[in-house]
Amino acid sequence: MDLTLHVWRQKNAQDSGRMATYQAKNISPDCSFLEMLDQVNEDLIGKGDDPISFDHDCREGICGSCSMVINGKLHGGQKGTTACQLHMRHFKSGDQICVEPWRAKAFPVVKDLVVDRSSFDRIIASGGFVSVNTGGIPDANAIPIPKERADYAMDAAECIACGACVASCKNASAMLFVAAKVSHLANLPQGQPERQRRVLNMVKQMDAEGFGNCSNQFECEAACPKQISVQFIGQMYRDYLKASLTHQEAAPKT
């Protein structure tokens, strides 16, 4: 199949950027979207041109680094699918495909389709961890956690921090990401000692990074490749309210 690509090209954060058009020839419908970009880059390198920069790592829908907007839809718009797992069979020969990076103040463009998502790392560093000694790995049947509660916690833990929730929100809110990380530990016994400090610190850091407020349109859930539910935002609100009333201040940063 032959395709026409309109790709966002931007040399660095200071560059204004522009759309550039490329031809993708003889693309197999069985290859992934990133493999298609690899093939286009091979042609560009062969011509002595600068290849298209894009993030990738696992290419198995696990790492969340393949962040891009494809034809106006996050990760290509296929439900529960990351860009690296989007296959070219969803397109047809002759299609024109527009590819852009995430658009959010807190995700500045580094180059082309690559954005700086280190703001997520700083949010996690502010409280997305447990400092208690959890010991070795016990037998699964010995863990004193009801299965329903463990499953609920793992539903939140599925978040891969790709940033689609931010890019899809008109306010560039990171509420779904933060709520998933807060709720994951809030629903496990290991997360209880730091539960209040965690939600206060992580929300404080989220605001400091420049993310907007929740728009309550639930576009984040619709765009999430792991289909994280907005119900975790509700749980985070409850935890934050309780912590604000009972905890004097967030733990000092070290």
| pLDDT, tens digit (0-9, with 9 covering 90-100), for 156-191 | 999 999 999 999 999 999 999 999 999 999 999 889
Which CATH number is 3-111 given? Answer: 3.10.20.30
Q: Provide CATH code, domain 117-246.
A: 1.10.1060.10
d(CA 167, CA 169): 6
Residue by residue, DSSP assigns 84-109 as GG-BGGGS-TT-EEEEE----TTS-E
Rounded to an integer, what distance in angstroms lies between the CA atom of residue 198 and that of residue 218?
A: 24
Amino acid at 123: I
**Start-end ranges of CATH 1.10.1060.10 in the chain?**
117-246
Distance CA 68, CA 54 (A): 8
List where CATH 3.10.20.30 sits in the chain.
3-111
> The pTM is what?
0.91
**DSSP string spanning 103-144?**
--TTS-EEETTEE--HHHHHHHHHHSS--S---S---GGG--
pLDDT of residue 247: 76
Tokens standing for residue 117: 């998502």
Over the stretch 93-152, which tens digit does the pLDDT of each residue have?
999 999 999 999 999 999 999 999 999 999 999 999 988 776 777 676 676 788 899 899
Helical segments of the chain, H only: 33-46, 118-127, 147-157, 164-168, 175-186, 195-208, 219-223, 231-246
The per-residue pLDDT of the chain, averaged, comes to: 93
